[in-house]
A and B are shown apart, each in its own frame.
Chain A
Amino acid sequence: MTRFRQTTAMLAIAATALLASTASARDQIRIVGSSTVYPFSTVVAEEFGRSTSFKTPIVESTGTGGGLKLFCAGPGIETPDIANASRRIKSSEIELCEKNGVSKITEVKLGYDGIAIARSKESDSINLSLKQIFLGLAREVPTPSGDFVANPNITWKDVDPSLPDVKIEVLGPPPTSGTRDAFNELALEGGCKTFPAIAALKNTDKTAYKRICHSIREDGGYVEAGENDNLIVQKLVANPSALGIFGYSFLDQNRDRIRGSLVNGVEPDFDNIASGKYPVSRPLFFYVKGEHIGKVPGISEYVREFVGEKAVGDYGYLADRGLIPAPSDERKQIRADVETGKVVTLAAEN
C-alpha cells in the first residue's frame, strides 16, 4: 500500500501547486513585444533589478504585433504592463485596447535603430541608392513604357551598370518581423517613390501603390532567413557575395566579420543614424499600461531608468549596445511626457 500512499502524496503536491498558483498578486514587472527592442529592454531590466530593491522585470520576445495583442487583452493584472514595439502602435491596436478597457497607454520613444544592409568583410563595400534597392528587390518593377513587369534583374549589374556583377542574393527577415515592415516602408517605398509615375499613383490608387512598393520578390533573389539575425551574419560570412538585412546592433557587434553597405552614399554608423542622414532608420517605442501603475510595484521607476541619460543618453549604456539615442532635445521632451503621464489617444495617431 506504500505505493498507493506515494501516489496520493504526489497528487496532493500537484493539487497544492495548482491552488497556490491561481491566487497571486504580482510583484514583478512583465514586458512583452518586439525582438528588436528586446536586447535594450533586457539590459535596462537587468540594471534596474541590480540597482533598485525591485525584482528584475521579465521580458518576453513575442514580436511587436503579438506583444501589443497581449498588452491590449485587458486591464487585468495577469496582462503585461509594458509592450515593446519597433513601430508606432496602430490605430486598430489602440481601438482594440480601448475595447478591452485599456485606455491609459503612455508612449515612450527610446531611440532609433538603423537597418543595416551588410556584407562579408571579405568582399568590397557596396553603395546602393534606395532606387537601386527597390529595383533589385521589388516583385514588380516599372518599364520605361510605364507598365509593370516581374522583376527581371538577376545581378546587381542588371540594376545599374555601375554596380558589381554579382547575383542578387539578399538574406532578410520574414514578413512577421518588425524589421521587415520597417525595411519595406523606408527602403523599398523610399526607392519606389523616386519613380514619378508611382509617386503619382499614391494619390489615385493607394492599394496599387502599396502593392507595388511593399512587395518583395519571391523568385529567390530575396531569401527569408528567419528571425535569428546571428544566423544571417553566419550565412553572410560563408557567402561573401550575399547581402543581409538586420538591425544596426548586430552590425555593431560583428564589425570584425561584416561591413555595412552605404545607402545613398551614407555609411550606417552611429553618427549618421543619430543625425538622420542614414535613410533606413526607425524609431523604437515602448507602451506603458497606466492602469497597472501603482498595482505592480516599480513600473514608474523602470520607465524613469529607461529614459534616463544613464541609459539612453549619448554615452548611456544602451548606446554601447547599438541603440541610437534620440537628439538631446527630444530626450528632454520624452522625459517630460513620461513625468506628466501623457496618454496615447486615437487622435494623436497618424
Chain B
Amino acid sequence: MRNCAMVDPKSHWQSQRFKSRLRRRNRFERQFRYLGIAAIALAGLSLSVLLVSVLANGLGATYRTEIALDIEFDPEILGIEVPGAGETAEITASADFRAVLRTSLMQRFPDAEGRSEVRELVALLSRGAAAELADRLVEDPALLGQRIEAWIPASDDVNFWLKSEAGDSGSNSRLSERQVAWIEALAADDRVARRFNGRFFSSGDSREPELAGIGGALIGSALTLLVTLAVSFPLGVAAAVYLEEFAPDNRWTRQLEININNLAAVPSIVFGLLGLAVFLGLFGMPRSAPVVGGLTLALMTLPVIIIASRASIAAVPFWIRESARGLGASPVQVVAHQVLPIAMPGIVTGTLLGLARAMGETAPLLMIGMVAFIVDVPTNFTDAASALPVQIFLWADSPERGFVEKVSGAILVLLALLGILNGAAILLRQKFEQHW
C-alpha cells in the first residue's frame, strides 16, 4: 500500500485497471443481490402454491352438500310406542330413522322400484343422516308425529358429483345414471345446496367424511399442550435459572450443558419411545391419554425452553444484578425480582416456539397410542384423545375421497393455530423486550 502514495492519486483511482475492478465488484454485488431475491422468490412461490392449494381444498371442508327432504317423524315407521296423553315418548337408539328417510325419499320419487333401486336412492344420503335425525328428535321430542322440511347431509359421492358436475358424463362418477337424474330433479327444485358445516369444528372423528370433525382433535391437542406447558415451563425455567445464576462452572455443569444442547436435536420419535417405556411401561399410565402425550412432549420441549431461557437470562446486563446486590438483595431476590421479570419476554417467546413445535408433532404420539380412531370428544386428561396433526395423518390415509378436503381443512386450522402461537411470540418480544 505504501507505493500508492508514489503514483498520482488521481490517475490511480481513474485508471483503467481500477475502473474494471470496480465494475467487477459492482457486478458481483448485483448478482449476489439477485441471487438472494431469487431464493426468496422461490421460497415465496412454493409457500403460496402450498397455501393456495390447501386453501382451495380446505375451504370446502367447512361446507357440505345437503338435501332438503320432507321428513315425517311417524312413530309407526320409527317403531316407537305412541305416547299417551301427557307422556313423552322414549326415543331409543334402536328407532328406525333409516326407514323414515327411506319413506321420505320414496314419496319424493315414487318411480324407484325394487330393492336395488331403493338402495341406490338411499345411497344419495350420508350414512350418518339417520344419526343426525335421531339427535334432532332427542333434542326436540315434540317433533314426534310432525312433518318438517329438514336439510339432510348428502353422501360423499353426491358431493363430488356436484363439484365436478360441469357436464361431465357419468362414466367418471361413482353415481349411476338414475342417481344423477334424481339429484338433477332435486337440484331443479332448489333442494340441493352446499351449506355451512358446523360439525367440522365441534364433532370428533368419523368414517363418514360429511360427519367427521376436528373438535375432538382440537380438544386433545389443547389438553396435551396444557400438560406440556404445566410440566416443561416451570422445570425448564428452574433449570435455566440454576444453570445460569447459581451453578458453579465446573466439568460437570459443562457436560450437562452439552447434553441439553444435544437433547434439543434428538429426533422426536426417540422421545416417543421414552414415553412408551417410562410412562406406559413403568408407571402404567393409560394409552392414548393426553396426560401421557403432554408429558412426552414436555420431555421434548424441555431442552428448547432451557436453552431459550438461559440465553434470555444471560442477556440481562450484569449491572442490574450488581445494583440489586448493592442494595442488599439476596441472590434469590435478585433472580426473582430483577432478572426473571426482565428475562421473561425472551423465556415466554422460547416457550411458545417450543409449544408450537410440540403441537405439530405426530411421531412421539404414535408410540403412546394417540394415533387412533377416536370418536368421543375427550373431556379430561385421562380420556383417550388424538391431536390435530394426528387427525390430518389419519384422514390422509382414508380411502374415502371426501377426506381430501377434510385434510386440507384441518391443515388450515393447524396452520392458523401455529400462526397465532408464533405471532404471539413475536408480539410479546416486541412489546416487552428491553434494550440497553
By beta carbon, the residue of chain A nearest B160 is A256
Interface residue tally on B, bucketed by range: 35 or more
| Contact with B397, one of A3, A11, A228, A254 (Cβ below 8 angstroms) | A228
Q: Is chain A's interface secondary structure helix, strand, loop, or mixed overall? A: helix
Listed A/B pairs (28) with beta-carbon separation below 8 Å: A3-B340, A7-B234, A10-B233, A11-B230, A13-B230, A14-B231, A17-B227, A21-B285, A22-B284, A24-B286, A24-B382, A28-B384, A39-B398, A41-B373, A46-B206, A53-B93, A55-B376, A58-B373, A59-B373, A61-B371, A230-B396, A230-B397, A230-B398, A250-B399, A253-B401, A255-B174, A321-B207, A321-B399
> What is the CA–CA distance of A148 and B382 in the complex, to the nearest angstrom?
58
A230 proximity list for chain B (CB < 8 A): 396-399
Does B352 lie at the interface of the complex (its beta carbon under 8 Å from any beta carbon of A)? no
B340 touches A17 (CB 8 A): no
Q: 15 more A-B contacts (CB under 8 A) besides A21-B382, A28-B376, A256-B174?
A: A10-B230, A22-B284, A24-B286, A42-B373, A49-B376, A58-B288, A58-B374, A59-B372, A59-B373, A60-B288, A61-B372, A61-B397, A229-B397, A230-B398, A317-B127
Quick one: CB contact mask for B161-196 with A, threshold 8 Å, 1 for yes? Answer: 000000000001110000000000000000000000
A55 proximity list for chain B (CB < 8 A): 376
A58 touches B372 (CB 8 A): yes
By beta carbon, the residue of chain B nearest A13 is B230
> Which residues of A in the span 228-249 have a Cβ within 8 Å of any Cβ on B?
228-230, 249
Interface residue tally on A, bucketed by range: 35 or more
Does B119 lie at the interface of the complex (its beta carbon under 8 Å from any beta carbon of A)? yes
A14 touches B227 (CB 8 A): yes
By beta carbon, the residue of chain B nearest A6 is B234
Quick one: CB contact mask for A22-64 with B, threshold 8 Å, 1 for yes? Answer: 1010101010000100110111011001111101101111000
Listed in ascending order, the chain B residues whose CB lies under 8 Å from chain A are 93-94, 119, 127, 131, 172-174, 206-207, 227, 229-231, 233-234, 280, 283-289, 291-292, 295, 336, 340, 369, 371-376, 381-382, 384, 394, 396-401
A195 proximity list for chain B (CB < 8 A): none
> What is the CA–CA distance of A10 and B280 in the complex, to the nearest angstrom?
23
B207 touches A253 (CB 8 A): no
B373 proximity list for chain A (CB < 8 A): 38, 41-42, 45, 58-61
A39 touches B399 (CB 8 A): yes
B286 touches A256 (CB 8 A): no
A43 touches B399 (CB 8 A): no
B119 proximity list for chain A (CB < 8 A): 315
